[in-house]
Amino acid sequence: MPARQTRKPRVRRPTSDARSYHHGDLRRVLIDAALQLATEGAEVSVREAARRAAVSPGAPFRHFPNRDALMAAVAEEAQRRFRAEIEAALAAAPPADPLARLRAFCLAYLRWAMRNPAHFEIISTGRYFVHGSSAELTRDNAELVALTERVLTEAGEQGLLRSADLKHIQITGRALVYGFARMNLDGHFPRWGVGEDEVERMAEAVVDVFIAGIAKR
C-alpha cells in the first residue's frame, strides 16, 4: 500500500489587525502617516492614515476616535520638532548676548518653517484642527512666548533696546517671522524677485534689519 500522505497544517495568515502591531507603535505610525499626507497636500483622515500605515480601517480608532484627535497629535509632534530646532539654535548662541539669542530664535523659526512647510501650516493655522483643543500645544506655545519675553527683558535690563515697550517688540518680531514664513509658503517671493535659492539668505537679512531696528545704537 502506498504510504498515507499526511496533510501539512494550514498556516493561518495574519489579519490586517494582527499585521498592524508589527510596527511596534501603531500610534506613532499613524502620526507619521498623517504628517506625510499633509506634506503631500493630501486630505488627511483617520482612514487614509490607516491605509498608508497598512492597517485595517478600524485599528486607528483605538488611538484616535476622530480626525481632530489625530490632527492634534500630529500638531503636537510638529511642535516638538519645532521646539527642538529652537532649543538647538539657542544652545549655539552666545549665552550672555540676549539679542544674539533673539536673532537665533527668529532664524530657527524661519528655517524650520521654510524646510517643513506642512508642519508650519499645521501648527500655525486653523486649517487642520482647533488649536485650543490641545492642552500640550497651548502649554508649549505659552512657554515659547515666555522664552521670548525673558530674552527681551534681559536685553532691556542690559540697556540694549531702543524702546522699553517689550510687548510691541515681541509682537513685531512674531509678525515678522510669521509673515515671512507665510509669504514663502504661499509662493510670494518670485514676484518680489527673490529666487528659491535666495530665500534663506533673505530671511537672515530681514531678521538682521529687525534686530538692528530694536537695538539701541
Classify burial at 61, counting beta carbons within 10 Å of its beta carbon; exposed 0-12, middle 13-18, buried 19 or more: middle
Q: What is the rounded distance in angstroms from the CA atom of residue 155 to the CA atom of residue 211? A: 11
Reply yes or no on whether the pLDDT at 9 is more than 70. no
The grid coordinates of residue 88 equal 538647538
Three-state secondary structure readout of the chain:
CCCCCCCCCCCCCCCHHHHHHHHCCHHHHHHHHHHHHHHHCCCCCHHHHHHHCCCCCCHHHHCCCCHHHHHHHHHHHHHHHHHHHHHHHHHHCCCCCHHHHHHHHHHHHHHHHHHCHHHHHHHHCCCCCCHHHCHHHHHHHHHHHHHHHHHHHHHHHCCCECCCCHHHHHHHHHHHHHHHHHHHHCCCHHHHCCCHHHHHHHHHHHHHHHHHHHECC
Q: What is the mean pLDDT of the chain?
A: 86
Instruction: Give the range among 20-24, 74-78, 156-160, 198-202 with minimum mean pLDDT.
Output: 20-24
Specify the length of the chain in residues: 217
Bridge partners, 215 (sequence order): 161
Reply yes or no on whether the pLDDT at 18 is more than 70. no
Classify burial at 111, counting beta carbons within 10 Å of its beta carbon; exposed 0-12, middle 13-18, buried 19 or more: middle
Q: What is the pTM of this model?
A: 0.81
pLDDT per position as a tens digit, 130-155: 777 788 888 988 999 999 999 999 99
Rg (CA), the chain: 24
Q: What is the rounded distance in angstroms from the CA atom of residue 217 to the CA atom of residue 215? A: 6
pLDDT per position as a tens digit, 43-68: 888 889 888 888 888 888 888 888 88
Q: What is the rounded distance in angstroms from the CA atom of residue 49 to the CA atom of residue 43? A: 10
Cβ contact 203:112 at 8 Å: no
Q: What is the rounded distance in angstroms from the CA atom of residue 51 to the CA atom of residue 49? A: 5
